[in-house]
Amino acid sequence: MKCPYCGGEVSVNDVRCPYCGNLNPEGAAFQGEVRRRRKLNEYLRQKMRDQLRLPLAQRIMNLAIVILALLWILVTVLGMIWYLVRDPRTLGLGRPDDYESQLETLYDEGRYDELYAYMDRYSLDGQDYPQYMQMALYYYTYTDFVQYSMNCTQALEKGSIPDDFHLEYAIDSAAELMQPYIPAYPDTYPVNQENLNIYQEEARTFLLGMLKLTEDEIQILYPEEDGSGYVSFTEIEQLMELAKERLKEEGYHESEE
Protein backbone atom coordinates (compact mmCIF):
# COMPACT_ATOMS: atom_id res chain seq x y z
CA MET A 1 0.00 0.00 0.00
CA LYS A 2 1.37 3.44 -1.04
CA CYS A 3 1.19 6.64 0.98
CA PRO A 4 -1.04 9.09 -0.94
CA TYR A 5 1.31 11.93 0.03
CA CYS A 6 4.89 10.67 -0.51
CA GLY A 7 4.37 7.33 -2.23
CA GLY A 8 6.19 5.41 0.50
CA GLU A 9 5.19 1.90 1.46
CA VAL A 10 2.71 1.86 4.38
CA SER A 11 0.95 -0.97 6.19
CA VAL A 12 -2.71 -1.21 7.11
CA ASN A 13 -1.53 -1.15 10.71
CA ASP A 14 0.10 2.26 10.19
CA VAL A 15 -2.15 5.12 11.21
CA ARG A 16 0.47 7.58 9.84
CA CYS A 17 3.06 7.23 7.08
CA PRO A 18 6.43 6.27 8.62
CA TYR A 19 8.18 8.45 6.00
CA CYS A 20 6.27 11.71 5.77
CA GLY A 21 4.16 11.47 8.94
CA ASN A 22 0.87 12.22 7.19
CA LEU A 23 -2.34 10.41 8.12
CA ASN A 24 -2.84 7.08 6.39
CA PRO A 25 -6.63 7.06 5.72
CA GLU A 26 -6.92 3.31 5.23
CA GLY A 27 -4.79 2.52 8.27
CA ALA A 28 -6.74 4.98 10.42
CA ALA A 29 -10.03 3.49 9.26
CA PHE A 30 -8.78 -0.03 9.93
CA GLN A 31 -7.51 0.80 13.41
CA GLY A 32 -10.77 2.60 14.20
CA GLU A 33 -12.70 -0.51 13.19
CA VAL A 34 -10.42 -2.64 15.36
CA ARG A 35 -11.00 -0.38 18.37
CA ARG A 36 -14.76 -0.40 17.74
CA ARG A 37 -14.85 -4.18 17.57
CA ARG A 38 -12.75 -4.47 20.71
CA LYS A 39 -15.15 -2.20 22.58
CA LEU A 40 -18.10 -4.18 21.24
CA ASN A 41 -16.49 -7.45 22.28
CA GLU A 42 -15.77 -6.07 25.75
CA TYR A 43 -19.36 -4.90 26.08
CA LEU A 44 -20.71 -8.29 24.99
CA ARG A 45 -18.30 -10.08 27.32
CA GLN A 46 -19.47 -7.98 30.29
CA LYS A 47 -23.08 -8.55 29.32
CA MET A 48 -22.52 -12.29 29.27
CA ARG A 49 -20.87 -12.16 32.69
CA ASP A 50 -23.84 -10.25 34.14
CA GLN A 51 -26.31 -12.69 32.64
CA LEU A 52 -24.38 -15.66 33.99
CA ARG A 53 -23.89 -14.07 37.40
CA LEU A 54 -27.66 -13.58 38.05
CA PRO A 55 -28.68 -17.22 37.52
CA LEU A 56 -25.72 -18.31 39.61
CA ALA A 57 -26.80 -16.07 42.50
CA GLN A 58 -30.35 -17.30 42.10
CA ARG A 59 -29.19 -20.90 42.17
CA ILE A 60 -27.14 -20.25 45.29
CA MET A 61 -30.15 -18.60 46.96
CA ASN A 62 -32.46 -21.46 46.00
CA LEU A 63 -29.94 -23.96 47.31
CA ALA A 64 -29.68 -22.04 50.59
CA ILE A 65 -33.47 -22.04 50.95
CA VAL A 66 -33.63 -25.79 50.32
CA ILE A 67 -30.87 -26.42 52.87
CA LEU A 68 -32.62 -24.26 55.48
CA ALA A 69 -35.93 -26.04 54.83
CA LEU A 70 -34.27 -29.44 55.23
CA LEU A 71 -32.60 -28.30 58.44
CA TRP A 72 -35.94 -27.07 59.79
CA ILE A 73 -37.60 -30.39 58.96
CA LEU A 74 -34.73 -32.27 60.57
CA VAL A 75 -34.89 -30.18 63.74
CA THR A 76 -38.69 -30.61 63.89
CA VAL A 77 -38.48 -34.38 63.46
CA LEU A 78 -35.70 -34.69 66.02
CA GLY A 79 -37.70 -32.52 68.42
CA MET A 80 -40.76 -34.74 68.03
CA ILE A 81 -38.68 -37.87 68.53
CA TRP A 82 -37.10 -36.36 71.64
CA TYR A 83 -40.51 -35.37 72.99
CA LEU A 84 -41.94 -38.84 72.40
CA VAL A 85 -38.94 -40.52 73.97
CA ARG A 86 -39.01 -38.15 76.94
CA ASP A 87 -42.79 -38.36 77.38
CA PRO A 88 -44.07 -41.70 76.05
CA ARG A 89 -47.58 -41.00 77.37
CA THR A 90 -48.12 -38.88 74.24
CA LEU A 91 -48.69 -42.06 72.27
CA GLY A 92 -50.44 -43.74 75.11
CA LEU A 93 -47.25 -45.53 76.05
CA GLY A 94 -46.40 -46.06 79.67
CA ARG A 95 -50.02 -46.24 80.81
CA PRO A 96 -50.62 -48.74 83.59
CA ASP A 97 -52.48 -51.84 82.51
CA ASP A 98 -55.20 -51.07 85.04
CA TYR A 99 -55.58 -47.37 84.21
CA GLU A 100 -59.29 -47.71 83.47
CA SER A 101 -59.96 -49.34 86.82
CA GLN A 102 -57.91 -46.57 88.43
CA LEU A 103 -60.13 -43.99 86.75
CA GLU A 104 -63.21 -45.74 88.01
CA THR A 105 -61.83 -45.92 91.56
CA LEU A 106 -60.94 -42.22 91.65
CA TYR A 107 -64.36 -41.33 90.28
CA ASP A 108 -66.30 -43.58 92.64
CA GLU A 109 -64.36 -42.29 95.66
CA GLY A 110 -65.00 -38.66 94.70
CA ARG A 111 -61.31 -37.84 94.27
CA TYR A 112 -62.02 -35.65 91.28
CA ASP A 113 -58.89 -33.51 91.50
CA GLU A 114 -56.77 -36.68 91.38
CA LEU A 115 -58.97 -37.98 88.59
CA TYR A 116 -58.25 -34.94 86.43
CA ALA A 117 -54.52 -35.10 87.20
CA TYR A 118 -54.46 -38.82 86.37
CA MET A 119 -56.14 -38.25 83.01
CA ASP A 120 -53.72 -35.46 82.22
CA ARG A 121 -50.68 -37.52 83.26
CA TYR A 122 -51.50 -40.28 80.79
CA SER A 123 -53.07 -38.06 78.11
CA LEU A 124 -56.48 -39.67 78.40
CA ASP A 125 -58.90 -37.87 76.13
CA GLY A 126 -61.98 -36.46 77.82
CA GLN A 127 -64.02 -37.41 74.75
CA ASP A 128 -63.28 -41.05 75.54
CA TYR A 129 -64.26 -40.61 79.19
CA PRO A 130 -66.79 -37.75 79.11
CA GLN A 131 -68.52 -38.72 82.34
CA TYR A 132 -65.26 -38.51 84.28
CA MET A 133 -64.06 -35.32 82.62
CA GLN A 134 -67.38 -33.55 83.12
CA MET A 135 -67.38 -34.33 86.83
CA ALA A 136 -63.76 -33.22 87.19
CA LEU A 137 -64.59 -29.87 85.55
CA TYR A 138 -67.64 -29.42 87.78
CA TYR A 139 -65.41 -30.10 90.75
CA TYR A 140 -62.86 -27.47 89.72
CA THR A 141 -65.62 -24.88 89.41
CA TYR A 142 -66.84 -25.94 92.83
CA THR A 143 -63.37 -25.57 94.38
CA ASP A 144 -63.17 -22.04 92.93
CA PHE A 145 -66.52 -21.26 94.51
CA VAL A 146 -65.40 -22.68 97.87
CA GLN A 147 -62.22 -20.60 97.82
CA TYR A 148 -63.89 -17.28 96.98
CA SER A 149 -66.95 -17.84 99.17
CA MET A 150 -64.68 -18.67 102.13
CA ASN A 151 -62.79 -15.42 101.59
CA CYS A 152 -66.11 -13.58 101.63
CA THR A 153 -67.23 -15.45 104.75
CA GLN A 154 -64.00 -14.56 106.57
CA ALA A 155 -64.58 -10.88 105.79
CA LEU A 156 -68.18 -11.10 107.00
CA GLU A 157 -67.06 -12.74 110.23
CA LYS A 158 -64.95 -9.63 110.86
CA GLY A 159 -67.95 -7.40 110.21
CA SER A 160 -66.64 -6.27 106.82
CA ILE A 161 -68.22 -6.32 103.39
CA PRO A 162 -66.10 -8.55 101.11
CA ASP A 163 -63.92 -6.72 98.63
CA ASP A 164 -65.12 -6.51 95.03
CA PHE A 165 -62.60 -9.05 93.74
CA HIS A 166 -63.65 -11.92 96.00
CA LEU A 167 -67.31 -10.93 95.89
CA GLU A 168 -67.36 -10.89 92.10
CA TYR A 169 -65.64 -14.25 91.73
CA ALA A 170 -67.75 -15.86 94.44
CA ILE A 171 -70.95 -14.84 92.64
CA ASP A 172 -69.49 -15.70 89.24
CA SER A 173 -68.41 -19.20 90.29
CA ALA A 174 -71.81 -19.69 91.93
CA ALA A 175 -73.40 -18.73 88.61
CA GLU A 176 -71.22 -21.29 86.81
CA LEU A 177 -72.48 -23.96 89.19
CA MET A 178 -76.10 -22.92 88.69
CA GLN A 179 -75.62 -22.95 84.91
CA PRO A 180 -72.83 -25.48 84.38
CA TYR A 181 -72.55 -25.16 80.62
CA ILE A 182 -69.52 -26.96 79.22
CA PRO A 183 -69.63 -26.93 75.39
CA ALA A 184 -67.92 -30.33 75.06
CA TYR A 185 -70.38 -31.86 77.55
CA PRO A 186 -73.55 -29.75 77.38
CA ASP A 187 -75.84 -32.27 79.10
CA THR A 188 -75.18 -33.35 82.66
CA TYR A 189 -74.76 -37.09 83.01
CA PRO A 190 -77.32 -38.49 85.47
CA VAL A 191 -74.54 -40.01 87.57
CA ASN A 192 -72.99 -36.54 87.96
CA GLN A 193 -76.25 -34.75 88.70
CA GLU A 194 -76.33 -35.80 92.36
CA ASN A 195 -72.99 -34.14 93.11
CA LEU A 196 -73.94 -31.12 91.03
CA ASN A 197 -77.14 -30.74 93.06
CA ILE A 198 -75.06 -30.59 96.25
CA TYR A 199 -72.74 -27.95 94.76
CA GLN A 200 -75.70 -25.90 93.57
CA GLU A 201 -77.39 -26.02 96.95
CA GLU A 202 -74.22 -24.76 98.65
CA ALA A 203 -74.01 -21.92 96.14
CA ARG A 204 -77.67 -21.06 96.70
CA THR A 205 -77.24 -21.09 100.49
CA PHE A 206 -74.27 -18.74 100.22
CA LEU A 207 -76.10 -16.28 97.98
CA LEU A 208 -79.26 -16.23 100.09
CA GLY A 209 -77.81 -16.68 103.55
CA MET A 210 -74.44 -14.92 103.49
CA LEU A 211 -75.00 -12.25 100.84
CA LYS A 212 -78.65 -11.61 101.79
CA LEU A 213 -79.92 -11.82 98.22
CA THR A 214 -83.48 -12.92 97.57
CA GLU A 215 -84.77 -15.89 95.63
CA ASP A 216 -86.21 -13.59 92.98
CA GLU A 217 -82.89 -11.78 92.56
CA ILE A 218 -80.88 -14.94 91.97
CA GLN A 219 -83.34 -16.30 89.41
CA ILE A 220 -81.08 -14.95 86.66
CA LEU A 221 -78.54 -17.56 87.73
CA TYR A 222 -80.87 -20.43 86.91
CA PRO A 223 -80.97 -21.85 83.38
CA GLU A 224 -84.04 -21.45 81.22
CA GLU A 225 -86.53 -24.27 80.85
CA ASP A 226 -84.79 -25.44 77.69
CA GLY A 227 -81.51 -25.67 79.60
CA SER A 228 -80.01 -22.57 78.04
CA GLY A 229 -78.90 -19.51 79.89
CA TYR A 230 -76.13 -16.99 80.21
CA VAL A 231 -75.20 -14.64 83.03
CA SER A 232 -73.51 -11.47 81.83
CA PHE A 233 -70.90 -9.50 83.71
CA THR A 234 -73.43 -6.68 84.05
CA GLU A 235 -75.82 -9.02 85.85
CA ILE A 236 -73.00 -10.18 88.13
CA GLU A 237 -72.26 -6.54 88.96
CA GLN A 238 -75.94 -5.92 89.72
CA LEU A 239 -75.96 -8.80 92.19
CA MET A 240 -72.75 -7.47 93.75
CA GLU A 241 -74.31 -4.04 94.32
CA LEU A 242 -77.48 -5.57 95.75
CA ALA A 243 -75.43 -7.74 98.10
CA LYS A 244 -73.36 -4.78 99.32
CA GLU A 245 -76.51 -2.72 99.95
CA ARG A 246 -78.08 -5.54 101.97
CA LEU A 247 -74.93 -6.10 103.96
CA LYS A 248 -74.72 -2.39 104.78
CA GLU A 249 -78.30 -2.54 105.99
CA GLU A 250 -77.29 -5.47 108.19
CA GLY A 251 -74.56 -3.33 109.77
CA TYR A 252 -71.51 -4.53 107.85
CA HIS A 253 -68.97 -1.88 106.92
CA GLU A 254 -66.72 -1.34 103.92
CA SER A 255 -63.36 -3.05 104.20
CA GLU A 256 -60.50 -0.69 105.02
CA GLU A 257 -58.01 -2.78 103.02
Q: Is residue 72 part of a domain?
A: no
pLDDT at 170 over 90: yes
Residues 6+ apart with CB under 8 A from 159: 251, 252, 253
Q: What is the pLDDT of residue 24?
A: 63
Q: What is the pLDDT of residue 88?
A: 46
Q: Is residue 203 part of a domain?
A: yes
Residues 6+ apart with CB under 8 A from 180: 138, 141, 188, 196
Q: Is residue 10 part of a domain?
A: yes
- Domain identity same for 143 and 58: no
Q: Where would I find the H helices in the chain?
A: 25-86, 99-108, 112-121, 130-157, 164-178, 190-205, 233-249
Per mean pLDDT, which of 57-66, 94-103, 129-138 is the most reliable?
129-138
If one counts the domains in the chain, the total is: 2
Q: What is the pLDDT of residue 96?
A: 78
pLDDT at 201 over 60: yes
Q: Which residues form the domain of 52?
A: 1-63
Q: What is the pLDDT of residues 228-256, one digit of tens each?
A: 557 888 999 999 999 999 999 999 998 76
- Domain identity same for 249 and 162: yes
